[in-house]
Structure 1
Amino acid sequence: MLLGAECPGCRAAGLGLCAECRRVLAERSVLGGVIAGVPWCAAAEYEGAWSHCLVAYKERRAWTLARPLGRALAWSVAGLLGGESRIALVPVPSAPAVVRQRGEDVTQRLAREASAALVRVGCDATVERALRQTRGVQDQAGLDVAGRRRNLAGSMVAVSARSVPVVVVDDISTTGATLEEGVRAMVAGGRHVIGTAVVAATRRRDGRPQAWMGGSGHRSTPAHGRDD
């Protein structure tokens, strides 16, 4: 078993993340823009070690990656807070069949890790399962932006009426359609949504990156290589 182990980020032989992939996952890229009228933020571009680790976490049950990926999500959330000190992280819902197949609600687990990281730095952050799916949706792969929006339109509903400000969270943003539907449902349910946050975001299909907050692709590495 040990001889067959490999780093989920670069596939190098070894147990768990290698030193280089740990360094990459400690870096942050300031990506963001606006989705459904609220700001969104991502900690990294969906490429290289980030994409490999997210796939390993979601599809190959590499649960040990929940902590570094969750810390990245916490960083994205922190970029949206402004003066808010009490928030609820609302993960976008997964279909029950997908949760059974994966053995875990992967987005909810990332939200819990992000919440714990935010609490450690003094933010009153909780996780609230305030969204649920109202109908099935088809696989998004192969759909363009308009197709994804049509596929998801009206597919979520808010199921909680608390007054805590909300950040809608997900693991990856490709076109923003899922986050857009989550925001729509929460606003329709009377909730105050301050933004959306993801671990990583993909490039647009024309090869250009999604909007960068501040207009530049600034990368930062936490002091001493830590992100907590």
Structure 2
Amino acid sequence: MEAYPFTVGLIRVITLEREEDRDCHGRLIMEYFPELRVISRCIPDQPEGVHSPETEALAAPKIVALAKELREEGADMILVSCAADPAVEDIRTLGIPAMGAGECTAAVAGRYGKRVAVLGITPDAPSAFERLLGEGLIDASMPDGIRSTLDLQTPEGRQSAVDKAAWQKAQGAQVIALACTGMATIGLAPVLEKELGLPVIDPVLCEGLFAKLEMLRRDLYR
């Protein structure tokens, strides 16, 4: 990796063949945080990504292996771009700062309202949301007909996500936290904000925010 003020190694937990698709989360982060350089990598042999305990367990050693590679190549921090935060704790034992999309999103969501609804691709909220939001987490739901992040990329999948978020608002949600980074890929947050008139927290932008904070922390204590 060439010298840069702060380099982030971003791990996608889905196998993507096209460089354009692999790099989309990194591009989004660099668009809003241009002082960061993001290098993106994908884990192998998981074309449907992580969407269950079984797929998370399968992904974990692959994520750690990529984190080691990125550390050796000069990454200052690792982002695991998945709301389940798979293998994040393991990466931290390598001696490099690491964050997952779930813990980043949960930390930000709690600042926007006392009643948070989580919209993801699993029937339960990822553990970081339960841990950080506590009683403020009023609902965790998945759009009807959605099995993996790939389903969100269809018109039907997008509409199903909009419909479920509207239902969450009707249940009293003051803020919607997106618990799937694939929802950032399709630009769902601004669509929901326009439809619902509620704050909608984008997980990839939250990753970028915490990477910027880590950069500032490092510079402050250098």
Q: Structure 1-normalised TM-score?
A: 0.41
Greater relative contact order, per chain length (Cα 8 Å cut-off, separation 6+): 1
Q: Structure 2-normalised TM-score?
A: 0.42
- Going by fraction, where is helix more abundant, 1 or 2? 2
